[in-house]
Amino acid sequence: MTWQDTDVPALRRKAERRHKMGRFGTYTVAILFAFLAAFPFSWALISMFKQSNDLYVKDNNPFWFNEPPTLEHLRLLFLDTNYLTFIRNTLVVGLAVTLITLALALPVAYALARLRLRWGERMGIAIFLVYLIPPTLLFIPMTRVINYLGLQESLWALILVYPTITIPISAWLLMGFFKGIPMDLEEQAMVDGHSRIGAIGRVVLPLMFPGIIAVVVFAFTLSAHEFIYALAFNKSSAVKTIATGVPTELVRGDVFFWQSLQAAVILIAVPIALIFNAFLDRFITGFTMGAVKG
Amino acid sequence: MAVVEVRGLRKEFGDVVAVDGVDLRSEEGEFLVLLGPSGCGKTTLLRMIAGLEQPTDGEILLGDENVIGLPPRARRIAMVFQSYALYPHMTVAGNIAFPLKAQGTDPAERSAKVQWAAELFGIERLLHRRPRQLSGGERQRVALARALVREPTVFLLDEPLSNLDAKLRAAARDDLMEFQRRIGITTIYVTHDQVEAMGMGDRIAVMNHGRVRQLGTPEEVYHHPADVFVAQFLGSPPMNLLESTNFLFGFRPEQFLPEGIADHEGDREPFTFHVNRIEYLGSERYLYGHIRGYDETKIIAMLPATVTLPISIDQDHKFSVARNQLRFFNRDDGNKIRPQNLNR
Amino acid sequence: MTTTTAAGKRYLSDNPRFLAAVFMSPAVIYIIALVGFPFVLAIIYSFTNISTGNPELNFVGLETFRRVLADPVFREALWNTFLFAVIANLLVVVLATALAEVLVKDFKGKWLVRFLVLLPWVAPVSLATITWLWTLDSIFSPIDWVLRELGLITENMYWLGRPGSAMGSVIAVQVWRIVPLAAVIVMAGLIAIPSEINDAVAVDGAGSWRKRFQVTIPLLAPIIAVAVLFGVILTISDMSVVYVLTRGGPTNSTQVLSTWAFIKGIEGGALGQGAAVALFLLPVLIGITAVVLRLARRREVL
């Protein structure tokens, strides 16, 4: 073997340089994305404590305090608006929607993943197609339906309708999770004397825990985000969720209570982001199973 | 062809020491096997030689040049992985051409080399297929062609036969051996299968817990194991080990014969063998039992079919082992020691 | 047809066909009732001249459609819906892939970066968009402030006041909020690539750009398709971003089908027209979805 024609130290240096540039590139890209993603929030974080005579001055530094910070706007948010009510409503709706979604999507996902049905594949596509029909198309007639059922101006309107959005996606996600669990487990349980349902409940569902968590997170996120139906069905403040309540309460005509608005955003986004971040690795594994095997 | 050498090589993953100070030097053109149970460090060692893993300490020399700090592609090595790692979205031709593309070879030379490599392994007619359309054996040949097309000086293989079913494995092994002999490339081969190692290796490095316990020819490691681990890892069924006053001694099942069978071959140590169970496997008989005086230890004897002496179970039989076939080991560290006196 | 377990018990629920029916019917009935029915209703509305002032279903044939299509704003909205979706998602694919590649590596502060990068997706759309409303404000925009401080501009940019930059702003906000989701999806794809393939690439000697474009991205194609699909659905069916940011202005230059349907149907009271406008969302959605799936299928691997 001849190394005579190659300058090994030079190769080594080149490799080292490449490695360093790679690290530099990684950090640069990471910092760039972090900055672009978060700078509106950084501004929001400062503004929520800014006095109005500081905020509404064109040439003042928006990223620092020119007048001392104040808790005035938080007070307004919590005491002068129904913010806490909005949060409570969002949580209630989230919980109810989660339960309904799990009750309806789990069986569907199981059936499509496990039971060999002739129309299994087509059903899967049909479910996905349902997801394609946007709320912006359905909300007008849906409002009629809600009014007809007498559910307008109540949380029940949302609890009834949100699962139409969560079920298709959850079914698809859960299908992936089910496919990742070997068949032998249920068969073993059935050989041991349980009915199929007993087998599922005892053996399979506990293993579906990550998938169920994903559905829970998804349902709560939707309840906090969803705008159109919430706006269309509930106009009274007592039954609004965060997504509609905060903008409507804190934007009166042309007057924006910016600082309180930013406070609302930060107070909601930060905890959810922390939770998501903690569960991120679990989601990714589940998603891999759903997408790769689906 | 290059000589592969590692000196004092060490790899730590946090608290875990995967490779604990390994010194190894291959001969030029030899087929060197790294053998050991999973977790012994053999794959980590191989990956460090390849440049896929950076050592915590030590040196790696390919062709007497220290290659630490060089990426895999600069080391002129080729590697075949357990799963073959063929690019699923490329054709066979695309797979084989890929390393040449990466080197910047011009298209004309590229297709010539691809053709040459394909012909070497008899896969020219598969060039337009995709990996998923190939059988296990065909995939191996594509992996070999892709590895060889760069004309490497060292060949590294990471358990490439373990994903094949038993029937294919023998044929694939044959192919590999023939190819290596033909090209004469220095090859380092990782496996946990001691039969494979014995059959293929010019020399075997038996590893455990990140260390090389013994480096030697198949004959050396089988008949003159350096310690208890090597003695029991090689050979199936494993060597029988008995505890004496303050040392261990052992002998292989095929060396444990009934009295009268090999008596003419000289000095033999007699034992009383109480047989509990017999397995008849056609070409040989396995006798399971224990030796009087060492009642706690399970002993296995292997009689070839040519020994037709009837053996009945639940009975004592007179067996013996040639004294020069007995092996002795230190009771505390398991290392080989000089032949001892069995005062019995 | 019943099956018998080892314990000799017979359960009707063990019959797969029965079980399938039981398992699937609640969801199917629910969806038919709450999606199918309103969907049909929406179609019916678009063939009537129903409005808040005139809540009766008077069938007028294609009159409502004619009115809707004759309106130049509608054509603008249709074009914008398509344009925004395509441009935004092209950007999303590139950015999300780059971000995902970085996030699967190990580096100091990764947890913090992940946290920050998730924020745009996690914040409720309406609220995050309101934050952007200020960020792009014609007087107080922090972006303008920075640019002024750096001496790059003297007058503010009026991001939302000019048609071109307004469209850019809408697209930017959509990209901003969707990239985290797409990046997570692509991350899942990256992790699914067997590590031995990456080893083989290193041994074969491919540099990072060759690896990226000749190995990684082709293998990611199906997952990227999934991410694009989600992104397209989110962009096209979204109403909040455009509505909060520009209400479709200035002069309807950022109008999209969703907002136009809302403005016509709810704010304007012409429910029939609103439904008709919204119906056009379907062909756009199905069209783009079909294209994406076809592209993905061609590069289908294994």
What's the rounded mean pLDDT across residues B69-97?
92
Question: What's the pLDDT at A69?
Answer: 81
On the question of pLDDT at B135 being above 70, the answer is yes
The string of pLDDT tens digits covering residues B176-223 is 888 888 888 999 999 999 999 999 999 999 999 999 999 999 999 999
Are B172 and B262 contained in the same domain?
Answer: no
Per-residue confidence (pLDDT) for residue A139, from 0 to 100: 86
Minimal CA–CA distance to C158: which of C174, C173, C137? C137
Peptide bond into A271 cis (omega under 30): no
- Whether residue B229 lies inside any domain: the answer is no
Mean pLDDT computed over B90-112: 93
Question: Whole-angstrom Cα distance, residue C143 to residue B34?
Answer: 62
pLDDT at residue number A97: 93
Residue reference for tokens 């997170």: A217
C21: nearest CA in chain A?
A: A111
The Cα-based distances of B307 to B279, C230, C257, C288 in angstroms read 14, 73, 91, 78
- pLDDT at residue C271, rounded to an integer: 83
pLDDT at site B281: 92
Domain co-membership, B212 together with B247:
no
Q: Which two tokens stand for residue B143?
A: 């992996």
Instruction: List pLDDT tens digits, range A188-210.
Output: 887 887 777 777 777 778 778 87
Is the confidence at residue A96, as pLDDT, over 80?
yes
CB contact under 8 A, A1 and B1: yes
Distance CA C121, CA A269 (A): 9
Structural domains of chain C, ranges and CATH numbers in brackets: 73-298 (1.10.3720.10)
DSSP per residue over B78-125, as a string?
EEE-TTTT--TTS-HHHHHHHHHHHHT--HHHHHHHHHHHHHHTT-GG
Q: Pick C26's closest partner by Cβ from A55, A104, A131.
A: A104
pLDDT above 80 for B45: yes
Compute the nearest-CA separation of A18 from chain B (Å): 10
Other C-beta atoms lying within 10 Å of the C-beta of residue B129 = 15
8 A C-beta contact, residue A248 and residue A96: no
Question: Are B86 and B177 contained in the same domain?
Answer: yes
Which pLDDT score, from 0 to 100, does residue B151 have? 87
Name the fold adopted by A81-293: MetI-like fold (1.10.3720)
A67 token code pair: 């007048």
Listed by number, the residues of chain C in 15-34 with a beta carbon closer than 8 Å to a beta carbon of chain A are: 16, 19-20, 22-24, 26-28, 30-31, 34
Instruction: Read off the pLDDT of residues A135-192 as tens digits, 9 standing for 90 and up.
Output: 888 888 888 888 888 888 889 999 999 999 898 888 887 887 787 777 787 788 878 8
Look at residue A207 in the predicted model and tell me its pLDDT: 79
**ipTM associated with this complex:** 0.85
- Residues of chain C with Cβ-Cβ distance to A232 below 8 Å are 266
Residues B219 and B250 in one domain: no
Residue B86 is predicted with a pLDDT of: 94
Q: Are C203 and B87 within 8 A, CB to CB?
A: no
pLDDT of C299 reads 62
Neighbouring C-beta atoms of residue B182, cutoff 10 Å: 9
Number of H helices, E strands in chain A: 15, 2
Q: What percent of chain B has pLDDT over 70?
A: 99
Which pLDDT score, from 0 to 100, does residue C302 have?
A: 36
At residue B248, the pLDDT reads 92
> What digits encode the pLDDT tens for the residues B216-237?
999 999 999 999 999 999 998 9
pLDDT value of residue C290: 86
Predicted confidence at residue C77, as pLDDT, reads 92
Asked if residue B97 and residue B193 are part of one domain, the reply reads yes
Q: Determine which of B52, B59, B65 to mutate to test the interface with A (most A C-beta atoms within 10 Å).
A: B65
pLDDT tens for A55-83 read 787 777 777 777 788 887 888 788 878 88
3-state secondary structure of A294: coil
The pLDDT value recorded for residue C12 is 52
Q: What pLDDT sits at residue B149?
A: 92
Which residues does A74 contact at the CB level (< 8 Å), separation at least 6?
A48, A49, A260, A263
pLDDT at C266: 81
d(CA A293, CA A289) in angstroms, rounded, equals 6
The partner residue sitting opposite C188, judged by closest CB among A40, A47, A284, is A284
- Strand B284-291 to strand B268-280: parallel, antiparallel, or no bridges (unpaired)? antiparallel
For residue B232, the model assigns a pLDDT of 93
Bond before A69 cis per omega within 30 degrees: no
**A270 contacts in C (CB within 8 Å)?**
119
Task: Sort out which chain C residues have CB atoms less than 8 A from B101's CB and list them.
Answer: 206, 210, 214
Residues 6+ apart with CB under 8 A from B273: B256, B287, B289, B290, B291, B292, B299, B301, B316, B317, B318, B319
**Which of B171, B189, B223 represents a domain boundary (last residue)?**
B223
**Are B63 and A2 within 8 A, CB to CB?**
yes
Q: Are residues B47 and B152 in the same domain?
A: yes
How high is the pLDDT of residue B233?
94
In this structure, the answer to whether residues B35 and B179 fall within a common structural domain is yes
* Residue B296 backbone phi and psi in degrees, to 5: -80, -25
Same domain, B132 and B48: yes
Ranges of residues in chain C whose predicted pLDDT is under 50? 1-9, 301-302
Q: Identify residues of A whose CB sits under 8 angstroms from chain B CBs.
A: 1-3, 6, 8, 11-12, 15-16, 18
Query: Cβ–Cβ contacts within 10 Å for residue C14, how many?
Result: 20
Q: How confident is the model at residue A294 (pLDDT cuts 50, 70, 90)?
A: very low
Q: How far apart are CA C270 and CA C264, in angstroms?
A: 6
B322 domain-assigned? yes
Q: Report which residue type is found at B60.
A: I
Euclidean distance between CA atoms A292 and A284, whole angstroms = 12
Which percentage of chain B shows pLDDT scores above 90? Answer: 68
Domain count, chain B: 2
Question: What pLDDT was estimated at residue C95?
Answer: 96
A135 near C237, Cβ under 8 Å? yes
Backbone angles phi, psi at B142, to 5 degrees: -65, -40
What DSSP line would sit under B151-186, residue for residue? Answer: --SEEEEESTTTTS-HHHHHHHHHHHHHHHHHHT-E
- Whether B177 and B250 map to the same domain: the answer is no
Of A6-15, A84-93, B135-144, give the lowest mean pLDDT range. A6-15
Which of C4, C32, C115, C277 would you mutate first to test chain A, the one with the most A CBs within 10 A?
Answer: C115
Domain termination residue (choose one: B188, B223, B258): B223
> How many angstroms from the chain centroid is the CA of residue A256?
27
Domain spans of chain A, in order of start:
8-47, 81-293
Q: Are C89 and C229 in contact (CB under 8 A)?
A: no
> Are B211 and B249 part of one and the same domain?
no
Looking at mean pLDDT, say which of A39-48, A228-237, B19-28, B157-166 comes out highest.
Answer: B19-28
How many CB atoms within 10 Å of residue B99? 25
Closest-CA residue in chain A for C102? Answer: A26
Query: Which residue of chain B comes nearest to C209, CA vs CA?
Result: B102
Name all contacts of A80-84 with Cβ < 8 Å and 24+ positions apart.
A81/A245, A81/A246, A81/A249, A81/A250, A81/A260, A82/A237, A82/A238, A82/A240, A82/A245, A82/A249, A83/A245, A83/A246, A83/A249, A83/A264
Contacts of A63 (CB under 8 A, 6+ apart): A42, A43, A46, C142
Look over chain A and give the mean of its residue pLDDT values, rounded to a whole number: 83
Which residues in chain B have Cβ-Cβ distances shorter than 8 Å to A11?
A: 70, 74
Q: Could you list the residue range(s) of the whole structural domain that residue B145 is in?
A: 4-223
The total of other beta-carbon atoms located within 10 Å of residue B169's CB is 17
CATH of the domain at B271: 2.40.50.140
Backbone angles phi, psi at C57, to 5 degrees: -90, 85
